[in-house]
Structure 1
Amino acid sequence: MERQEHVIGKSVKRVDAFEKVTGRAKYTDDLCGKEAYVAKILHATVAHGIVKSIDTKEAEKIPGVVKIVTCFDVPKIYFPTAGHPWSTDPAHQDVADRLLLTEHVRFYGDDIAAVVAENEVAAVQAVRALKVEYEELPFVLDVQKAMEEDAPQIHDTYPNNILKHTTIRNGEYEKARKEPGLTKVEGWYQTPTVQHCHIENFICYAYMEQGRIVLVSSTQIPHICRRVVGQALGIPWGKVRVIKPYIGGGFGNKQDILYEPLCAYLSTAVGGRMVKLDVSREETFVCNRVRHAIRIHIISYVRKDGTFAARKIECFSDQGAYASHGHSIGAKCMNCFPQLYPCPNIEGDSYTVFTNKSVAGAMRGYGIPQAMFAMESHMEDVAKAMGLPSYQLRFQNIMPKGFKDSFSKNVNYYDTFRECMEKGKKVFRYEEKLKEFKNQTGEIRRGVGMAVFWYNTGVWPISLETSACRMVLNQDGSVQVQVGETEIGQGADTAFAQMAAETLGIPFENVHVMTVQDTDITPFGLGAYASRQTYMAGFSIHKTATLLKEKILDAACELTRQIKENMDIVNGKIVRTTDGSILMTMEELAMEKMYSLTNNGHLTAESSLQIKNNAYSFGCTFAEVEVDIPACRAEVIDILNVHDCGKLINPALAKAQVHGGMSMGIGYGLTEHLIYDEKTGKPLNNNLLDYKLSTFLDHPGLQAEFIENYEPTSAYGTKALGEPPTCSIAPAIRNAVLNATNVAVNEIPLTPHILFKRFKEEGLI
């Protein structure tokens, strides 16, 4: 009998590889018609203030200018921008604090007017010709200073600029910390504002067709985008159609609704003509979204044996000027604290605070890179204070097998953390390197460090998790697959095709995943975020493939007179299982079924599922650095990530995800930081020359290893991998620098400026 070729677990070639390598893949700008008008935005040049007037006279004289819209012209409809599922419960809806254009400027770069012109030159000239009169107001850039009583008030409805404050109170912290014989270890840790720096800047275009708005956008969340555009314009959501083509990366920036509502509005303002709004790299840095800079304070009370008696954490999350994803990042940052190293007596406070800086939103890791930098740096500090090996301290305190979180109901089904640590220690030769680099005194020193990470898969039970899939059998026996989850460069379409092929029993090359989502056609899905897609889409793909397979076998039963129980689909052929004989091919079945004059039928299946599960992803990083003390420079020499992301659907894609995340983490730890002028609030390095983005020339070979513990809550045994690889890189590098120099640096990135300050304080230079 012919055996089914297994597709899951194989490094098959990406389904979009040829199109992307040859440049044939059509991105938003490739699809936009040449007849499109060009829109450009006028951004505020004060950090906080009120727009008193905008003089448009000179701009209107410029040839080619079609329309100028100011903050005084747009409807005063407040809308949310976060790419979260909508909730019918008002208490669980995102904060609606944005307008298409605003009179109240809250950060340097806020949107106050827009120009629509026949070409880019005219649009740019017109924006420059607009004259703005401001009433300037005091501004604040520091997250804790913004909470002070006399700080400038950024939003009237949020006293002390606190968007939200949540707490953790487990056990009896105050009583437990007074236990005799405890050592108190305390530290403040600071992470920077950084930007996603995806290859394709945000871009969209809009036009009207049959009384509806059609919007083509480089978005991670087409169905959510449709809803927010409808809300922002005050029109029924069904009057908006969103199309998502190929995307050149997003990393969470495009999990926010950026300029889609404004672009749609501008199209309506010029009679429904096509309007393109393309954002420059400088605008992307400042006017899209950034990662939250979070300041974290941790106190641990430790027994002599290295166990924790009591622990406390405070998180101060810099939200920037508008709510965007709001407190969800700050809350997640705090909430992993009692899970990573469980302790019976914990206090936690997390504050998300408005400042007059660029708006912070979703970015790869969603609060966990910040949390892991603080928590894993602190673990190293605890080990140093207690005179214990940091590996041993982690090993004895980390989340055990069988741990169950009371809120998410997540269960740690395996001793994954320790498995990852043990494998990483062996592969990296961690113990040997510790001995080799001990007691160095020269100007050039080597050191090794490690850090672990904790991560959830998806957003249940905080928000809705749902997935839908549609499959259609083609005449040649191949199958079309449509899902609402989006390919944004990470290889999701390939994983979807592998899962569908495996369940249906057909060759991988006979599955055609529709990479373009269209809200008029594509089943409802929530998009790319929270490392959810392979896990969540897997449920609907499995169910839909099972339904379609049943229909195919029913048709085969009619055509072959065999009973369905004796048939299966193997490598795209209808096979009798009792003797292994091939009854017919899928192509023969599809043609006969579709064109039969007596029993015609179109074989298709569709399903939608709400998923009420989540899953833990775990792993760790080992890093080796070389520190040039006089130059105040740290360089990564060797680095390894070990992950348990469940069953690997495609090992090559999994490694690619890890390598990309590691590169991003190296930049986060060593070079990247969006800097603001303290006197004006103006961003100073919002370009790729001055921002110092990490590239492949800035790091060594990247090692990725896996522990494949099959996730029992998953349709295919898989779980989160997209975001985890970036979470533990920065603290591992920081801890390696500590090991090399005996100097703890509690602020990233570890630039020469920051290292110089700490080395001088510690007497190294």
Structure 2
Amino acid sequence: MSVGLSQERLDAKAKVTGRCRFTGDLALPGTRIAKYLHSTIAHGRVVDIDTSEAMSVTGVEAVFTFADIPKIPFATAGHAFNLDPAARDKEDRLLLTDHIRYHGDEIAIVVAVDGLTASKALKKIKVTYEEYPAILNHDQALDEKATELHEGSGNRVGEHNYQCGDVQAAIAEADHSLTGQFQTQMVQHCHMENHIAWAYMDDTDHIVIMSSTQIPHICRRIVSQALDIPMSTIQVIKPAIGGGFGNKQDVVLEPMVAFLTKKLGGVPVMLELTREEGLSSTRIRHPFRVNVDCAVNNDGTLKALAMDVSSNTGGYASHGHSIAKAAGSKVVPLYPNAALSYQAITHYSNLPSAGAMRGYGSPQLVYAVESIMEDAARKLGMDSIDFRMKNVAQTGDTNPLTGKVIESAGIRECLIKGRETFGWDQKKQEHQAFKSGNIRRGLGLACFSYGSGTYPASVEIAGARMILNQDGRVTVQIGATEIGQGSDTVIAQMAAERLGIPVSAIRVVSTQDTDTTPFDPGSFASRQTYIVCQAVAETGDLLRQRILEHASTMLELPAEQLTISKDAVVNGDKTVHLSLNELALDAYYHKTRGQQLTAEVSRKVTTNAYSYGCTLIEVEVDIELCQLSILGIHNIHDSGKIINPDLAAGQVYGGVGMGISGALSEELLADPETGWIYNNNLLDYKIATMMDAPDISCDFVETHEPTAAFGNKSLGEPPLLSVAPAIRNAILDATGVAMNQLPMSPKALFTAFRDAGLLDSVRPQERAHVSH
């Protein structure tokens, strides 16, 4: 048995000892270095660009501007191809541009023998701009007099709506109605490894791209489109990756390095972004403005929820409206029995381009929804847990948006377990002594629901190949990309479970190569384990059957009487023992019988399972200092069957930490007049470090999801979804002040406390030291 046990990560030793090889470690001798010239304005046109002095710098091999690139618009979002042209991502990018749409837009690129030379040449390029007023928010973008950032768009990227039940009637008939407006901020992924890619040509027309990408197969297709060259002439290789969180679900560098090597006769060319470039010139999380109407009855029944979202995608669409669309669909399974309505619009602006980021729009919407849920509970005088328990989904409920039955929903069990393990009721009593004065304490709760993949919005397909090697061990090749989350280890466990051999006898090839690896769209949408488990299970079953059939021939026994146990084929009473090593050698080298024993399956998945969970948090607020301390935070998840408990807990710890940082401090700041980015560096962009992390605890409620081969559901993105609203609700419980805008930084707390009159009511002599 392998599934359900904590196995050490396959890549653990290589990563902690430094033997793991990332994209930058694999560069070829003689690799040239490329560097972008970024715009210094947020909106305008390049009216003149002079590259002559840059070209004269010794060691510079080429300088290209927007005048030199193919004029082929392409989409950068990492989605599987859609056969419906109307449903495809917006094709609004060029390799370089003279129409500046955000501060940091790429207008030229230098290729030199090394990075210092390239940087020196960049400083010698002279650019003259015609600057236009910056368009930064919803009202400016959709003003009928606004300049179009992309011709014919009206600055609209997309919009849609849905309604489940009669929302207006439900609001009118309910005992109480509430409204709220919530605003989220620009947040950046800050993965450890910056964006990096390099390319070379190994013959007359074959381009090899090495890239830190979450989506190698999709990347190949987009490069083909951007350069108008056959897909089969492009090979994308993904080695080890130092994190992505969705930022590498966009094709950011790969078309450019392919273009450069092709222009320079096939020499290897590398493009690696600095942290400053990564913060402002890759992708960010979409800022959402969310208006919510909520209706409840006196008994705590949620009658209606109406959500109105404006999503700001920045200068280019990237994932565009699919973020707001996905967010709207993923919240429905949490409260499926209320009347629900959702309308959303995504617009362009002169801010950095927004794309996929962990949670894919759900953190923004869950923040709004779970905040209004808390407001409703307080209006009714109900306990936060009791209110959620009355309204959340149960197994057997119907998702009103899809009409399909929810096969597994453990959210009620999560709340019950959380109440007990977190000591909710006891803490609630203790906090009565902290409801006045300078030091106050509060409890917060928030829930979430989330999908396992993109179906039915997009095709879901995964491929797996297994090979019995000559020594009796098994090699697994999968298209699913390991980006640091531990999926290779989980895949090894699933393969071992189906084959009946130890995990130690499995090798998962972590490098994806589009020329040899089975097709898979990539790592995103918390799809990996849920989608790939179907292909891995079927491939394992197929290889196992082929092994037993060959053993049947060798042993002259019916295959039905044989099984695989550890490293051998045995019969029922284990009186017959044939090692897999002996069997493999026979299959490979017997002169007349056998063949290389392999199996391969490509599987399309046409189901989607919903994960559930909640965050419970205890905070202490120093009113005078406008300072928040997290005394305890507990995340509980229904992710179906947990394949590897230690890795699952690691996902939760990382996700909660990311959620805390985004809730309390992170914000990419733009000048409200010009769109100029203030803080595209890790000194001024306030990301939490390990020194800022509180004690985090987690737990799981294991349900069985019947649509998954091992009963499992998503876990990668859910841990951060409910963190921000839980913190907001705890601050509300402690102080009576509702923080309806992120981040909830000391500066934001000061403004809110001042406006609420709290700072005037707290006298310095009332300060009390409270031991943590």
TM-score range, shorter chain: over 0.9
| Contact 1:222-1:527 at 8 Å conserved across structures | yes
Alignment of 1:317-466 (within 5 A): 317-408=311-402, 411-438=405-432, 440-466=435-461
Deviation at 1:172, TM superposition (A): 2.6
Alignment of 1:259-658 (within 5 A): 259-408=253-402, 411-438=405-432, 440-577=435-572, 579-658=573-652
Q: Does 1:201 align with 2:201?
A: no
CA distance in 2, matches of 1:298, 1:26: 48
Q: Does 1:659 align with 2:672?
A: no
CA distance in 2, matches of 1:643, 1:758: 32
SS of structure 2 residue aligned to 1:63: coil
User: Can you list the C-alpha shifts for 1:88-130, whole angstroms capped at 9, x where unaligned?
Assistant: 2212221111100011110000111000001111101111111
User: Can you list the C-alpha shifts for 1:710-758, whole angstroms capped at 9, x where unaligned?
Assistant: 1110011111000000100111111111111111110111111111111
CA distance in 2, matches of 1:165, 1:97: 17
AA partner of residue 184 (structure 1): S
| Contact 2:332-2:399 at 8 Å conserved across structures | no
Which stretch has the larger CA shift, 22-31 or 388-397? 388-397
Deviation at 1:342, TM superposition (A): 3.0
Tell me what 2:177 maps to. Answer: 184
AA partner of residue 454 (structure 1): S
Tell me what 1:11 maps to. Answer: 6
AA partner of residue 191 (structure 1): T
SS of structure 2 residue aligned to 1:286: helix
SS of structure 1 residue aligned to 2:606: coil
Deviation at 1:382, TM superposition (A): 1.2
Q: Does 1:756 align with 2:750?
A: yes
Structure 2: any 5+ residue segments left out of the alignment?
760-772
SS of structure 1 residue aligned to 2:172: coil
2:111 alignment partner, one of 108, 116, 122: 116
SS of structure 2 residue aligned to 1:715: coil
CA distance in 2, matches of 1:348, 1:496: 37
AA partner of residue 93 (structure 2): R
Q: Does 1:727 align with 2:721?
A: yes
Tell me what 1:3 maps to. Answer: none
Sort the Cα spacing of 1:23 and 1:337 in 2 relative to 1 into closer, same or farther, 3 A: closer
CA distance in 1, matches of 2:544, 2:333: 41
Which stretch has the larger CA shift, 397-406 or 738-747? 397-406
Q: Does 1:31 align with 2:26?
A: yes
CA distance in 2, matches of 1:342, 1:96: 35
| Contact 1:311-1:345 at 8 Å conserved across structures | yes
User: Can you list the C-alpha shifts for 1:521-543, whole angstroms capped at 9, x where unaligned?
Assistant: 10111110011111111111111
Tell me what 1:67 maps to. Answer: 62
CA distance in 2, matches of 1:568, 1:149: 71
Alignment of 1:71-90 (within 5 A): 71-90=66-85
| Contact 2:336-2:399 at 8 Å conserved across structures | no
2:164 alignment partner, one of 170, 179, 184: 170
User: Can you list the C-alpha shifts for 1:568-612, whole angstroms capped at 9, x where unaligned?
Assistant: 1111210111x2224210001001211112224111111111110
Deviation at 1:410, TM superposition (A): 5.0
Aligned length: 757
Tell me what 1:225 maps to. Answer: 219
CA distance in 1, matches of 2:171, 2:442: 33
Sort the Cα spacing of 1:599 and 1:32 in 2 relative to 1 into closer, same or farther, 3 A: same
| Contact 1:669-1:750 at 8 Å conserved across structures | yes
CA distance in 2, matches of 1:339, 1:214: 43
Deviation at 1:760, TM superposition (A): 0.8
| Contact 1:27-1:245 at 8 Å conserved across structures | yes
| Contact 1:191-1:749 at 8 Å conserved across structures | yes
| Contact 2:330-2:451 at 8 Å conserved across structures | no
Deviation at 1:442, TM superposition (A): 1.8
CA distance in 1, matches of 2:600, 2:65: 45
| Contact 1:408-1:461 at 8 Å conserved across structures | no
User: Can you list the C-alpha shifts for 1:198-236, whole angstroms capped at 9, x where unaligned?
Assistant: 100010000111211100000001000000000100011
Deviation at 1:414, TM superposition (A): 4.0
| Contact 2:475-2:507 at 8 Å conserved across structures | yes
SS of structure 2 residue aligned to 1:422: helix
CA distance in 1, matches of 2:592, 2:407: 53
SS of structure 2 residue aligned to 1:437: helix
Deviation at 1:623, TM superposition (A): 0.7
Deviation at 1:406, TM superposition (A): 4.6
User: Can you list the C-alpha shifts for 1:413-457, whole angstroms capped at 9, x where unaligned?
Assistant: 345111000101111101111111126212111111110011000
Deviation at 1:82, TM superposition (A): 0.6
AA partner of residue 527 (structure 1): G
Structure 1: any 5+ residue segments left out of the alignment?
1-5
Which stretch has the larger CA shift, 364-373 or 679-688? 679-688
CA distance in 1, matches of 2:403, 2:471: 45
| Contact 2:409-2:610 at 8 Å conserved across structures | no
CA distance in 2, matches of 1:545, 1:746: 50
Deviation at 1:408, TM superposition (A): 4.3
Tell me what 1:739 maps to. Answer: 733
Deviation at 1:154, TM superposition (A): 1.3
Q: Percent identity?
A: 46
**TM-score, with normalisation over the residues of structure 1?**
0.97
**TM-score, with normalisation over the residues of structure 2?**
0.96
CA distance in 2, matches of 1:548, 1:603: 7
Which stretch has the larger CA shift, 481-490 or 675-684? 675-684
User: Can you list the C-alpha shifts for 1:268-326, whole angstroms capped at 9, x where unaligned?
Assistant: 11111100000000010111111111110001122222223333210111111111111
CA distance in 2, matches of 1:302, 1:493: 46
| Contact 1:637-1:699 at 8 Å conserved across structures | no
CA distance in 2, matches of 1:646, 1:185: 34
| Contact 2:54-2:124 at 8 Å conserved across structures | yes
